[in-house]
Amino acid sequence: MNSDLVVVGSGFYGLTIAERCARELGLRVLVIDRRSHIGGNAYSEAEASTGIEVHRYGAHLFHTSNERVWDYVTRFTAFTDYQHRVYTNVGGEVFPMPINLGTVNQFFRAAHGPEAARALVAEQAAELAGTEVSNLEEKAISLIGRPLYEAFIKGYTAKQWQTDPRELPASIIARLPVRYTYNNRYFNDTYEGLPVDGYTAWLERMADHPRIEVRLDTDFFDTTQPVNKAAVVGQVPVVYTGPVDRYFDNAEGELSWRTLDFEEEVLDVGDFQGTSVMNYGDEDVPYTRIHEFRHFHPERDYPKDRTVIMREYSRFAETGDEPYYPVNTATDRERVLAYRELAKGEKDVHFGGRLGTYQYLDMHMAIGAALSAYDNTLTPLFRAGARLG
């Protein structure tokens, strides 16, 4: 094998490691991915009939307050000044999200100032004062009161988890922030925007280096491929960003995930919903949200008479489904600890990324974690001529 490092997975984690190691350490890096495209879940492509950029694995909004990550990503792409805002359609009305003064006043048909709204929500949240909260519903009521919970959290959560919120653990929600201003910007980060030329152009620029080879349609566990786990581990250092349980043949049991189903439609209207993401809170609407991709790039010259929408449905993942969000039950947490112990024994393999660590990571977190792993694990070991540990 004429590579110094094999990276399994061409998502942001894998590509950041590959780019740093090739450019800064002069290593020959082979990146493999079992999919037929680069970029992991951040991949996007133009819908064929309209040219509208569609995020294939759900809407991806870039935001960060991490200066190092911002400095790094802006080497590969410029960003638009897009600011994300979300609305929710519930009970035949549309409200701004996250819950803010506008939402509260619209919902209660009131004109409260911040203090009056705060007092109202506190009074409603006091319903369960003095009782031990034992499930998600009670926790949410104790945070924002029953009326807001029933309108904005109950149906949406039940659909996300296919489970009655009274049967979900309280631990799923730590906080339910209510903003007592009219600010409905979704993210609070210093930097926010979308890549000017799209995600795939950005991802391709990261991989565009003479010492990086990307091999697609190559599954690390397919022994008919020349580069596979049995052939590579122990021969050359590996950065593995696939599912950690799969790496160990599910020896400690399968980790549980939620997955999403996407239903894409091209409509003969110039604008379907007037915004990029509309949540649907009613339980009798089967999808959780609709994305309308043209609104991510108002600066582009998209067709005026056609639009692309994508309905999103949420469910528990079964074997073979794409893993999206860790469920993180107590059993999962025990299993993750057991896998971490096993991983320590894999002397020349570094586990990273959202699948390799069983964590939800935003893009900036995956990139930041990869930059840290590059500094703290890969650089010292390659400089010392040693293997990964």
The binding site for ligand FDA (CB under 6 A) comprises: 8-14, 32-35, 40-42, 57-62, 219-221, 241-242, 260, 324, 353-355, 361-364, 366
Tokens 């604008």 sit on residue: 271
- Residue 252 makes CB contacts below 8 A (sequence gap 6+) with 245, 335, 338, 339, 342
The residue from 179, 211, 335, 354 that is catalytic is 179
Entry field: residues in the chain: 389
- Residue 312 catalytic? yes
Supply φ then ψ for residue 213, to 5 degrees: -115, 130
Rounded Cα–Cα distance for residues 191 and 183 (Å): 17
Specify the residue, 60 or 139, whose C-beta has the smaller distance to ligand FDA: 60
- DSSP-derived secondary structure for 152-182: IIIHHHHHHHTS-GGGS-GGG-S----BSSS
Specify the residue, 121 or 363, whose C-beta has the smaller distance to ligand FDA: 363
Residue 43 Cβ vs ligand FDA, minimum distance, rounded to whole Å:
8
The residue from 71, 109, 175, 301 that is catalytic is 175
- Residue 217 catalytic? no
- Residue 179 catalytic? yes
Residue 265 Cβ vs ligand FDA, minimum distance, rounded to whole Å:
18
The residue from 246, 289, 335, 354 that is catalytic is 289
Question: How is the beta sheet containing 5-8 ordered, strand by strand?
Answer: 212-215, 29-32, 5-8, 238-240, 349-351
- DSSP-derived secondary structure for 261-285: EEEEEEESSS-SSSSSEEEE--TTS
The residue from 166, 263, 360, 375 that is catalytic is 360
The residue from 53, 252, 312, 332 that is catalytic is 312
- Residue 362 catalytic? yes
Rounded Cα–Cα distance for residues 155 and 157 (Å): 5
Residue 256 Cβ vs ligand FDA, minimum distance, rounded to whole Å:
15
- Residue 303 makes CB contacts below 8 A (sequence gap 6+) with 50, 51, 52, 270
- Residue 311 catalytic? no
Specify the residue, 209 or 258, whose C-beta has the smaller distance to ligand FDA: 258
Specify the residue, 14 or 237, whose C-beta has the smaller distance to ligand FDA: 14
Residue 150 Cβ vs ligand FDA, minimum distance, rounded to whole Å:
26
Specify the residue, 61 or 141, whose C-beta has the smaller distance to ligand FDA: 61
Rounded Cα–Cα distance for residues 89 and 91 (Å): 7
Please identify the residue of the shown chain whose CB is closest to the bound ligand FDA: 40
- Residue 180 catalytic? no
- Residue 34 catalytic? no
Task: List the structure tokens of 86.
Answer: 């979300």
Residue 124 Cβ vs ligand FDA, minimum distance, rounded to whole Å:
31
> What residues are labeled active site?
175, 179, 258, 289, 312, 360, 362
